[in-house]
Structure 1
């Protein structure tokens, strides 16, 4: 979990089969004279067949620090100079004052030209729980999912459904709306975390 003045996100890599796995952690810490960014690879990155280190961060066992957001992450942000930048933030439910790190967490930094993306690190809530933002995956593979999503309202609960027959990941978790229609899947990079929380009898809510 993050300390005061510190935010984190996971860097993830998508393999050719479409599975997404975390490979590193990017941290931004705000100090008196500005921000400090730190990136480290996770040990699990060494086990991913075909994985290559992120551009500009070439060594698996090094610790990288900078006062500027590393280019491999900065280049995933829409330039503020674009005329549609404010509309982009509105679609992400962010305001124009949101800092680049916050935008990166919300938009997940996905690009069609590579296998890299990011997702939010869990953050502690005021009541002692954990919260995490993510985009539902696989909408295009489910008939009626887009229509069901359009009917959802902020705060509507989604039901987690195990899918042991999933051909890609037997631990996959589908999400069902109150309309009894499926709207997508929990991202693969979060599936193990959700299973672990449920095994601990923790309450897991998706909305």
Structure 2
């Protein structure tokens, strides 16, 4: 079983809200809204307007399928390579969660639900904000090596996001290379502040010098999974309705 969340940005305040969950189990896709969908400015997806229902399909829903590049497009191989994925093991939900499934026509992103594997919390993501860096910082990003260690720092004086988590090099200069995607900030901060944990690893998976900045730096964060830890934990991630009606589409 694998799950991802659909998050939506309210353009009025720039905040991201989890509005739905997509799960694949034994080849069957299940889509349900979360409590975050109660936001007054959020409109349900077309043909899935009833927030109290669970929508089931043997095929990936068109809303998500349209966020993936067709395999016959030249760009598909580039995205696959940038995301450190292989055609033989390609997974639609993995691709959506790593790239975010972003489209210029709306304010939605897809993020993975972290899974407990071998007592570890592990997530992969592209570092955000590289396009806003100084030239010297971008040059340093381009020279990062595969497996190179980075570190996170809290940037609580950030005027745009008080929960911002900054990524830097580990050398004396501690050069800024970007930010953790803001929808993972709460998890990262909770894990880094957990006194039971001895540390974490933030390593470079791949640097794509020829790629646009949103796909430039792919990283992986990992640490031990504390006992009782619940990832992405807020009321907005919970199912919209306890006793949902199932609709096959």
Q: State the shift of 1:184 in Å.
A: 1.1
Q: State the shift of 1:12 in Å.
A: 1.0
On the 8 A contact 1:23/1:44 being kept in 2, the answer is: yes
Pick one of 184, 193, 197 that aligns with 1:199: 193
Deviations 1:120-145 (A, max 9, x none): 2112232x111111121111122134
Counterpart Cα distance in 1 of 2:180 and 2:29: 28
Deviations 1:155-192 (A, max 9, x none): 22221111111112211111112352111111111111
Deviations 1:91-140 (A, max 9, x none): 211111213233222222011110011112112232x1111111211111
Q: Does 1:103 align with 2:95?
A: yes
Stretches (4+) displaced over 3 A = none
Counterpart Cα distance in 2 of 1:88 and 1:137: 17
- The residue aligned with 1:170 is 162
Q: Does 1:69 align with 2:87?
A: no
Q: Does 1:133 align with 2:124?
A: yes
Pick one of 133, 149, 163 that aligns with 2:141: 149
**RCO comparison, higher one (Cα < 8 Å, 6+):** 2
Q: Which has the higher strand share?
A: 2
On the 8 A contact 1:194/1:204 being kept in 2, the answer is: no
On the 8 A contact 1:56/1:71 being kept in 2, the answer is: no
Deviations 1:62-109 (A, max 9, x none): 212111111110000001121332232112111112132332222220
Gap change, CA 1:83 and 1:159, over 3 Å in 2:
closer
- The residue aligned with 1:181 is 175
On the 8 A contact 1:122/1:131 being kept in 2, the answer is: yes
Counterpart Cα distance in 1 of 2:15 and 2:138: 22
Deviations 1:35-68 (A, max 9, x none): 101112221332x342222333322222121111
TM-score normalized with structure 2 length: 0.72
Question: Pairwise CA RMSD of aligned residues?
Answer: 1.8
Counterpart Cα distance in 2 of 1:147 and 1:55: 43
Flag structure 1 segments of 5+ consecutive residues without an equivalent.
1-5
